[in-house]
Structure 1
Amino acid sequence: MSFIRPRRRHYGGIDISPMMDMTFILLIFFIVTSTFTRETGIDVSKPKANTVKELSKESILIGITRQGTVHINETQVNLSSLQTILRQMMNEAPDRPVIIVSDRDAPSGKIVDVLDECNLAHVRKVSISASKE
């Protein structure tokens, strides 16, 4: 007695597991290689300058709005507390530069006040941010 085995049909299919592996690898690659820029958290239109240089990413950003409010790391601060905050930050890393990101229409007196507070906090490197023409 002989038995006839039924033939198995093999249906062609696409194996998507290698494609999923590549998708996750590309996702990890783009996350790791992307750069994140720190901003002051306020909307300013910077003045233009011909001599613009890139500074360290480890800098302290102080923002001054058109209305004259002062911000550090997206938090509004009073001018009287600015010196104390800067001293604390400078104690952690004494060589960190401070970048003042001021609006083009900000009162110049407020910029001078912020520069004075930076000087009183013994900040060694102070720069004013500008966009390149």
Structure 2
Amino acid sequence: MGMRRRRQYQEHDEEAIDLAPMLDFVLNLLIFFIITAVFVKEVGISLHQPSAPPNNQQQDKEDDKGTLFIAVHKSGDVSIDSRLIDVASVRANVERFRGEKPEGPVIVVANTKAATGVVVRVMDQARQGGALDVMLQPTASK
């Protein structure tokens, strides 16, 4: 019976650590870091992607006539309307297209395994040719 009383007495004799001051300190730190945090807006390049084609086939054919597609193949070859051209002649082709369709967009369809430098040069040539909207459309390689 004496052992039982001693254990009860020892359990009540221990003092508990008061956590309230530590919680106040942590809360103050949290408020301090929230107030002093600098929020940076990420700056990125916005790419204009073409909208989904309309369901009407006649409108789809008219859109194809009003859009210039420049294909950049995996090998680095550039073609317009299934004919191979040099990167330097992209500008002349875009200028001719802009003369026929001044508001027509130019879409560069680039293979994902094509050299980035070739794609950038094609887009630059298209812009120098007077294209206002040069859109990039990546395609998966086969």
Shorter-chain-normalised TM-score: which range? 0.5 to 0.7
1:111 pairs with 2:119: yes
1:127 pairs with 2:135: yes
Unaligned residue ranges in structure 1 (runs of 5+): 1-50
Sequence identity (%):
21
Greater per-residue helix proportion: 2
Matches within 5 A, 1:6-45: none
Q: Using CA pairs below 8 Å that are at least 6 residues apart, which structure has the higher relative contact order?
A: 1
Scaled by the length of structure 2, what TM-score is found? 0.53
* Counterpart residue number, 2:74: 66
Structure 1 position 127, deviation (Å):
0.7
Runs of 4+, deviation exceeding 6 Å: none
1:88 pairs with 2:86: no
1:79 pairs with 2:87: yes
Structure 1 position 85, deviation (Å):
1.2
Unaligned residue ranges in structure 2 (runs of 5+): 1-48, 54-62
Structure 1 position 52, deviation (Å):
6.8
What CA distance in whole angstroms lies between the structure 2 residues aligned with 1:97 and 1:103? 19
What CA distance in whole angstroms lies between the structure 2 residues aligned with 1:93 and 1:63? 19
Alignment counterpart, residue 54 of structure 1, candidates 49, 52, 68? 52
Q: Aligned-residue CA RMSD in angstroms?
A: 1.8
Aligned residue pairs: how many?
81
> Are the equivalent residues in 2 in contact too, given 1:52–1:130 (CA < 8 A)?
no
Larger radius of gyration: 2
